[in-house]
Amino acid sequence: MRDIVCEILSNKEVGENIFEMVLLADRVDDIQGGQFVNIQLPNKEMLLRRPFCLCDFDEVNKTFTICYAVVGEGTKVLSGLAVGQQLKATLPLGNGFLLSGKYNKIMLIGGGMGSAVLPAIARRNKDVECVCYLGFANKGKVVLEEKLREVCSKVVVATDDGSYGESGFVTNIAKADLDSLGVDAIFCCGPEVMYRAIKKTFADVNIPIFVSLEQRMGCGIGACLVCNCKIEREGKQGYYRVCKDGPVFELKEVVL
């Protein structure tokens, strides 16, 4: 991990209130899928850096991408930043999702903005076949489909209201296809309600299921113990750090 100054190369609205920002870094070859970047806003009143998953990267041009929805004051400021603006950023942070040598074919499931974690996972693990299931509330919220088609052998998009792609909850659609796909692990990123649904719907599944957690963060590097999550290991529940022990955990050990 290191603290660098990045330059904004683009910052475009790609869905309803959803933006993709491409930043120029010193290097991106050390980025693993599932890791995140902690970005400092130019507004000095907002002391905390904002953590975003490293959505995608380009090793030739040394750029990385974040994809974010405007949900609060911080993302509002971010969405208004112009090309050429320089931002301080600490990266890459957290434990990524390492696949090579472990799995041959995996299923990626994204729920809403959780889908932003998936492209980097597939791009970093080119020897692993990735099949991807994305769920969004409606057509206006659908993002990253094209990017994921570049790196996955199959991409299925579903919307809750049926306004785009398949109709219904993506967890149910993914579960229906699971047996025919022959995957040996599942990685999912979405809201907590989705993890609860997966715990229930995928209860009879015997392959490992990994999820990425989020929590309000302080330092982002593991020192302040602010971003805690409850994990059960060896029969004992305890608090772990989302930023350093995670953000990727096996679903069966996450206490929801």
Pairing state between β 209-212 and 185-189: parallel
Q: Are 9 and 63 in contact (CB under 8 A)?
A: yes
- Closest contact distance (angstroms) between CB of 75 and other proteins is 13
Instruction: Copy the structure tokens of residue 109.
Output: 């499931």
Residue closer to other proteins, measured from CB, 43 or 100: 43
How far apart CA 93 and CA 111 sit, in angstroms, is 22
The pattern of x and - marking residues 130 through 169 that bind other proteins according to CB under 8 A reads ----------------------------------------
Q: Return the beta strands (E) in 99-233 as ranges.
A: 105-111, 129-136, 154-159, 166-167, 185-189, 209-212, 228-233
90 binds other proteins (CB under 8 A): yes
Residue from 18, 87, 99, 219 in contact with other proteins (CB under 8 A): 219
- Closest contact distance (angstroms) between CB of 31 and other proteins is 16
| Cβ neighbours of residue 193 closer than 8 Å, sequence gap 6 or more | none
Residues 49-78 that bind other proteins (CB under 8 A): 49
24 binds other proteins (CB under 8 A): no
Q: How many residues bind other proteins (CB under 8 A)?
A: 31
Residue ranges in contact with other proteins by CB under 8 A: 1-3, 40, 44-49, 88, 90, 215-230, 238-239, 244
